[in-house]
Structure 1
Amino acid sequence: MGIVHSSTVDATCDEVFAWHSRPGALHRLLPPWQPMSAISESPSLADGQAMLGLPGGLRWRAQHRADEFDPPHRFVDERITDGARELPAVLSGPWRHEHEFAAEPGGQTTRMTDRVHTAVPAVALRSTFAFRHRQVADDLARHRQAREAGLVPLTIAVTGASGMVGQQLTAFLTTGGHRVIRLVRARTDAADERTWDPHVPAADLLNGVDAVIHLAGAPIAGRFTDAHKAQVRDSRVGPTRRLTEVAAAAADGPSVFVSASAIGYYGHNQPGKTLTETDPPGDDFLAAVVRDWEGAAAADAAGLRCVQVRTGIVQSPLGGVLRVQRPLFAAGLGGRLGSGRQVLSWIDLDDLIDVYHRALYDDRLTGPVNATSPEPVTGSQYANTLGQVLHRPTLLPVPALGPSLILGRQGARELALADQHVQPSALLQINHRFRRPALRTSLRHQLGKA
């Protein structure tokens, strides 16, 4: 029982081991389709402990073994039990995980091997470890590309770090050797956090920071009532303007300001058009919000290189559309939304992280950047692909009335049923390589079906 999974990573043993030892590794290694969360990471691979959260408030605690710690070639952890909430995990039997790293001939590549001794059969673990190895290899490749382009370790301030994108982005950055300072609203004394008041940010908030990634904003999904629309707008435009002003005036402050944005800029009803960064804004509510949001983040004249990441529909079961649709499709109750002819411009979560990362160091990216796959799909194609990945039929189309019941008529029109064929022209012009440009590949990776 258990599993042995091995692959070759295009990085040295020192690089692979260092990646595993840094904060964020556990977040990057946890499969997004599994009901687990990282509660606390181990401060040391030599003798620390890590804690995972399971459904129902249960816990999984792993203890690293000091007597088997051999950097950069090996570390070992075992599940231990300390408290009633950890007892149910014992029902799966023992768990011992050996992580091994061996240099391949020439020393520039590494054989990475996971050996897990457990009663759980290999067939139940194979997708998990295939995912983990892909994440390590892909992340290290992106960090190597950045180093070759001249990127050095940075201090990066991030707002919205607790959200789906923020958690994975900050984990990616810290495993790459960068220091992340989370800007939080609560009072904090933590070394890597600073208190941020979106309405009156402190003048010294960004002193000593090399770059800012601004992700914060109220969720857009919801019924488009007057109160909801005001919250969507007010949580973005004013706070972004004030944060940009503080960044521009900071002593020894950032030179790059990367702000979240959205393809809602183009308007929801754009049939038959191919939209790029040079196209004008639409004329609906979201288009007006995004236009003003981007305007608040455009401070190049103040000495900052500003990038606005116009994000498509993010694919991850951790949140967004896929989190809602996955259980329905898994139960065989899925189907296209509305007519199915509308074009969906989407992006894999890891590809979105790569866009933010590249914006930090590639001076050719400035102003709006479309963060979408170069291969958009129609609503029908999306439903059929998701059904095929999950091996389920897609025979139950959802009429336009369905989203309207949840989002209201305006929300359904501008979100669920939007027709936008958006191309990432700014990225394609610099030969940016997407990890998963095809929807099927993205869904298989994100759902453990690769």
Structure 2
Amino acid sequence: MTETRVFEHRTLLRHPRRTVFDWLAAPGALQRMNPPFASELAAGPSDGLREGSQTRLRIGAPGSLGLFAGAVDGGLRAALPAAVSRRIPAALSPRLPWRARHTAYEEGRMFRDEMASGPLSAWRHTHSVEDAAPGEADTAEGESGAVVVDRVEYALPGVGTAGRLPVVGRPAADAAHRVFEAELRRQFEFRGRVMAEDLDFHAGHPGPLVGGPARTVLVTGAGGLVGTQLCALLTGGGHRVIRLVRSPGQAEAEDAALWDPAGGTVDAAALRAADVVVNLAGEPLAGRFTEKHRRAVHDSRVDGTRTLVNAIARLPEAERPTVLINGSAVGWYGADAGAGPDGRGLTEDLPAGDDFLAGVVADWEAQARRAEELGLRVVRVRTGIVLSPTGGMLAQLLPLFLAGAGGPVATRGGRSHDGSPWISWIGVDDIAGVFAHAALAEGVVGAVNGTAPEPVTAKEFARVLGTVLHRPAAVPVPEFGPRLLLGEQGAAELIRADQKASAELVLDSGYAFRDAVLEGALRRLLGR
């Protein structure tokens, strides 16, 4: 017989109990709360929180081992063409499958899920949402807030009722429980912080969750790193999201519609239903900067945006969406822009640079600006380096750092105080928040830098990442590595890009950053 133990975690929230429960019940809540350093949401919930609803996850090993394996897996998949990556069997993933089934539900009060299959001997998770005690977590209006109580009854494989692991006995059993509960604690702390921040965001951008108007948001690139979190954030506020997809099979889903960015077609009914269009589609930049790759990077962004704007123009004026939020990038300023002409940072009024990526972004934004002539409010979000352990630069660096061989990706070529290039970074939750803020806040218009308020140099980035991971950060990445992977042009415009973007405009627009400082962002993303 296995030994069952109980773990509890309480999260105090300065929002009414009913609002908290409704957020938990909304589509997207589980995606938002899923810790990227620990697990991946594969599918579900199939029927919200109701009894019988099922969810499939992929769970990593605790601590650095799971982080390392997940980063290697994600990096390999990202390096492969999407069509190839999708065909890699799930059985080859270092994360283990977990299927949960909801077994109890009480409207406004509680729900429960149990492990139907997975790596543990047993798992029973009861989520209760209660009124906080007076004065414990009052709302902005002075009413009682809420407390979310997560009670987990679990049993570890191989640990018997006498508390013994095979051969090694009680001390090892207790150690196994301590490691497991430490992992649970960091995951629930992540969940609690996301709950609080998302609820605060929706209170400041009122939608149906807090008694405000509902928006229908059409999103391209919805399955990407940023798009996944943006869609989950919006649906958590009660807004409707329609994903524009290119596969007829995917378009059969209730929340999806078909488009062909290269062919110039968009589902007209989906466009008519939309209040806001968010355009995130584009070929990933990673890859050798061959002529073919450069053309795909350019055309996927420019042609896709042209297709959307042309389709909007074909609609009668009264049936058009009123807002276009278009992806863009700090590549606008050029790879050698540094800290700008006055040394205080790159501001949105500066002209475009003269290299390849600056030209791509200039053409991309020009297509988006055509929608201004149609009367739409247009925002161009110039995104920096997006940080996530599941993709992008951070995921590529993690295996090196965790192995003790990490260091700056570029040590020269910048005009910063330490001679290394400036990195304008932003956490994945914040860039999703910036896009959602731009979609919902009427005062945001024009170009906006989607970067955190505290850019760092490449050397500082390596030092902070090493500190968070408790690893050295003294081994620079050899210059031939990026050149081998990206070619000389790609290495120059991506790895050695020197850009210190200013976040003043997005701050002035009212956006509240979740992580303004790099160390805090990395600790959140890596569960440290």
TM-score bracket for this pair, using the shorter chain length: over 0.9
Residue 129 of structure 2 aligns to which amino acid in structure 1?
F
Give yes or no for contact 2:218–2:271 (8 Å, CA) kept in 1. yes
The alignment status of 1:142 with 2:216, answered yes or no, reads: no
- Give the match for residue 191 of structure 1: 254
Give yes or no for contact 2:38–2:59 (8 Å, CA) kept in 1. no
**Which of 377, 381, 386 is matched with 1:309 structurally?**
381
Per-residue displacement from partner, 1:228-282 (whole Å, max 9, x unpaired)? 0000011011220120122244342310000111000000012342210001100
Give yes or no for contact 1:205–1:246 (8 Å, CA) kept in 2. no
Q: 1 CA distance for matches of 2:44 and 2:327?
A: 27
SS in 2 for 1:261: strand
Residue 159 of structure 1 aligns to which amino acid in structure 2?
T
What TM-score, normalized to structure 2? 0.80
CA shift for structure 1 position 204 = 4.2
SS in 2 for 1:422: coil
CA shift for structure 1 position 222 = 1.1
Q: 2 CA distance for matches of 1:422 and 1:317?
A: 23
CA shift for structure 1 position 327 = 1.4
Out of 271-280 and 165-174, give the one that drifted further: 271-280
Per-residue displacement from partner, 1:360-397 (whole Å, max 9, x unpaired)? 12222111110001100000000000010011111211
Q: 1 CA distance for matches of 2:479 and 2:514?
A: 33
Residue 226 of structure 2 aligns to which amino acid in structure 1?
V
- Give the match for residue 173 of structure 1: 234
CA shift for structure 1 position 144 = 0.7
| Cα distance, 1:361–1:132 mapped onto 2, change above 3 Å | same
SS in 1 for 2:382: strand
Give yes or no for contact 1:158–1:180 (8 Å, CA) kept in 2. yes
SS in 2 for 1:332: coil
Give yes or no for contact 1:248–1:303 (8 Å, CA) kept in 2. no
Q: 1 CA distance for matches of 2:394 and 2:124?
A: 33
Give the alignment of 1:310-349 within 5 angstroms.
310-339=382-411, 341-349=420-428
Q: 1 CA distance for matches of 2:482 and 2:457?
A: 17
Q: 1 CA distance for matches of 2:512 and 2:33?
A: 22
CA shift for structure 1 position 441 = 0.2
- Give the match for residue 432 of structure 2: 353
Q: 1 CA distance for matches of 2:277 and 2:476?
A: 42
SS in 2 for 1:232: helix
- Give the match for residue 77 of structure 1: 113
Give yes or no for contact 2:39–2:57 (8 Å, CA) kept in 1. no
Q: 1 CA distance for matches of 2:349 and 2:11?
A: 43
- How many residues are matched? 439
Structure 2, unmatched stretches of 5+, are 61-89, 135-141, 156-176, 413-419
- Give the match for residue 102 of structure 1: 130
Residue 421 of structure 1 aligns to which amino acid in structure 2?
K
Out of 95-104 and 438-447, give the one that drifted further: 95-104
SS in 1 for 2:278: strand
SS in 1 for 2:348: coil
SS in 2 for 1:5: strand
Structure 1, unmatched stretches of 5+, are 82-88
- Give the match for residue 41 of structure 2: 37
**Which of 209, 212, 221 is matched with 2:274 structurally?**
209
- Give the match for residue 231 of structure 1: 296
Q: Among the aligned pairs, what percent are the same residue?
A: 44
CA shift for structure 1 position 150 = 9.4
Per-residue displacement from partner, 1:369-426 (whole Å, max 9, x unpaired)? 1000110000000000001001111121123322111111100000011000100232
CA shift for structure 1 position 26 = 1.6
CA shift for structure 1 position 328 = 1.1
The alignment status of 1:438 with 2:501, answered yes or no, reads: no
Residue 194 of structure 1 aligns to which amino acid in structure 2?
A
CA shift for structure 1 position 133 = 0.5
Give yes or no for contact 1:76–1:98 (8 Å, CA) kept in 2. yes
The alignment status of 1:116 with 2:177, answered yes or no, reads: no
What TM-score, normalized to structure 1? 0.94
Instruction: List structure 1 runs of 4+ shifted beyond 4 angstroms.
Output: 148-151
- Give the match for residue 84 of structure 1: none
The alignment status of 1:129 with 2:129, answered yes or no, reads: no
Q: 1 CA distance for matches of 2:453 and 2:291?
A: 35
**Which of 262, 277, 287 is matched with 2:358 structurally?**
287
CA shift for structure 1 position 151 = 5.5
| Cα distance, 1:382–1:140 mapped onto 2, change above 3 Å | same
Q: 2 CA distance for matches of 1:49 and 1:100?
A: 19
Per-residue displacement from partner, 1:263-308 (whole Å, max 9, x unpaired)? 0000001234221000110000000000000000012121111111
Q: 2 CA distance for matches of 1:150 and 1:122?
A: 38
SS in 2 for 1:275: coil
Structure (1 or 2) with the larger CA radius of gyration: 2
- Give the match for residue 74 of structure 2: none
Q: 2 CA distance for matches of 1:162 and 1:432?
A: 24
Residue 98 of structure 1 aligns to which amino acid in structure 2?
T
Give yes or no for contact 2:242–2:270 (8 Å, CA) kept in 1. no
SS in 1 for 2:426: strand
Give yes or no for contact 2:32–2:232 (8 Å, CA) kept in 1. yes
- Give the match for residue 257 of structure 1: 324
SS in 1 for 2:444: coil
